[in-house]
Structure 1
Amino acid sequence: MTTSSTVEAEPEAAPQAVELSVVLPCLNEAETLETCIRKAQQSIAELGVAGEVVVADNGSTDGSQEIARGLGARVVDVPRRGYGAALMAGIEASRGEYVLMADADDSYALENLGGFLEGLRGGSDLVMGNRFKGGIEPGAMPFLHKYLGNPVLSMLGRLFFRIPVGDFHCGMRAFRRDRLLELGLRTSGMEFASEMVVRASLAHFRITEVPTTLRPDGRTRAPHLRTWRDGWRHLRFLLAFSPRWLVYYPSLALQIIGLIGMVWLAVGPVTRMVGDVGFGIHSMLAFATMFVVGTQGVGLAVIARSYAAHLKLLPPPSEKFERIFTRLSLEKGLVIGGLLMLLGIAAFIAAVTSWGASGFGALDVVQSMRIPIVGMVLCVTGFQLVIVSFTLSLTRIGED
């Protein structure tokens, strides 16, 4: 008699959960990639955490991929070119709860990841490195970057977005992977670094800093970074995400100055003197132009802010903003704008009537242009208010 028995297969061991992924963007970094990977692996081992190194390759032709695989790193091929595109692909492919990113040029202290990991374990969503606190070795950062680019852009980031970061563009930073993916980062170039910090701040991430060092990169070729081009891309991004500073505040200043000057010159004598300088009808026209330009700028800023919030590119406006523009419904905007336009037309009619009283003959420009200038300003302001009210109503479709 034969007996049969079945041997149950032992279940496969579940893959160990990865706590920390180190992501290195790579484009022909064969000179320094091995050093960077070994430093990161050594630090992971010393910290006693489950970790991995992910190399996001952007189309290297110098054998960087083989170097990375030979050292046990995972390689993610990224066909879309750009620093941001490579990093985003590497982050999406990483398996860690936390992700640390750094350049693969051996300029960052990849052998010392402890401070970043400690910050994340302590509850931070984003931990930025600060090279100015940790130390910048001679020759590690170009003069313009150290004393102009980084300080100015970091200052603008703190001013525009109230971000408590002293080194806005440090390339070594760590974050919670799930939280970062929620941000929906879009830029593919060097401005990716700015987008990450700005969006994290707007999403109310807990952001902290740790000191890190910077040394001269180990490559013999020139870096991918282009000082003026990439600096402008960072600045452009900061301004685009802050319509207040890009358009609203400058336009509001133009409005106020233009209105004060126009009212000052619309009444009283033909020419007003300030010291030896006379201000007359030409100055009034200049002030009127300032007011009109300022009005258009303020309208554009309001529309841009509302639309960006509607697309969830920026957080919802403040309660004060909401109260003001909830009251400014399409109907109210049309009524107020229409009244201003009617007043402007009335001013033109008054000017024509005055001209007719003089027999429609030649006019003294200085004496006769005040009322038409006021009429022009009223008509343009009224029309602008109608356009802004109508456009705002489009951005609020579905919210009522």
Structure 2
Amino acid sequence: MSSLKPYDAVLLLSFGGPEAPDEVMPFLENVTRGRGIPRERLLEVSEHYMHFGGRSPINDENRALLANLREQLTAAGVDLDQTPVYWGNRNWAPFTTDVLREAHENGARRVLAVVTSAYPSYSGCRQYREDLAEALITLSREGRSMRVDKIRHYFDQDGFLSPIAESITEALGTVPTGSHIAFVTHSIPDAMDDASGPQGNAYTKTHREACEAVLSLLAVDTVPEWDLVYCSRSGPPSQPWLEPDIGDHLAGLKNAGVPGVVCVPIGFVSDHMEVVFDLDTEAEEIAQGLDLPFVRAATSGRATAFAAMLASLVVERAAAERGENPERGSQAGSGPWHDVCPAGCCANLRNPDKPAACGVDWVLPIDTSSAAAPAEVTR
């Protein structure tokens, strides 16, 4: 059997989403708490969910990924009775704190997190780390001492990239010759991109590296022209966000005489609401109105290769923590991402002092007002 020691549990950590109409507004209020988002905007976004019966696809996607990850870890020789795999969310049930508490009650003291976000940024990495820190602080106040690490980013891994390339190759056969590829990811404020990664602009840089890696895997004679574009902007018009928006881009392609487009949700590991509404619904309707042939390529989250890749990164990190020297592969020009986030990586621009786990500067605070566990540095 393959050991995951020193870890005694794995946590699949995701964003979360509502599963019934009466959960939609509480979920959105939870996601946006403290950000001053007008209720009118929340009501507008809630209609996206109501378009699908008030149910986000993300939890079903995570249930499928959880089953696949367990299967691939078992195939890698991991004894899941000894190292169980849990699933928790940042913004909806099952909540991270509750799941870590359950894991602690079952004997877990060191946990390795697998985050369903492939790229570095505040919202895609540090915010997950902040929520982990909040959970660990809460549990410490209950007298529960735990340490949580996370696997490295996997935007550069073949198991993420190859399924996308295969889907694009298939999609290109359904659109006119000369069609373009529109790689799409979630827009973020320009300032957030500027602060992403240890040197800045890692969000856009790693996305472009992923796009180029996917293009190198296409089974085509001629690689189509392509662009990286954005969806799901939610900030005020006065705040610069990454552009162009997918809708504006489609209009530009039509005006340029491009005969068709393959839309590739490169920024999403599975079919989240941003994919099924912003792309499959809104972007496709825009393309239809422009009489522009449009096909959306698949995400990689349900592919066996994707779960196998995550399992391999879990095994890799465990080996590294045991002092071994595992091979760290990468399909990106900049090489494999770091295991441990440097100080200040993907900074929180609103609250730079907010604790974030899984980084070199993370120390679990001692709550002197309660019987908290001793402070523990978690790398």
Instruction: Please indicate the TM-score interval, normalised by the length of the shorter structure.
Output: under 0.3
The higher-RCO structure (CA 8 Å, 6+ apart) is 2
Bigger Rg, structure 1 or 2 = 1
Instruction: Calculate the TM-score normalised by the size of structure 2.
Output: 0.23
Instruction: Calculate the TM-score normalised by the size of structure 1.
Output: 0.22
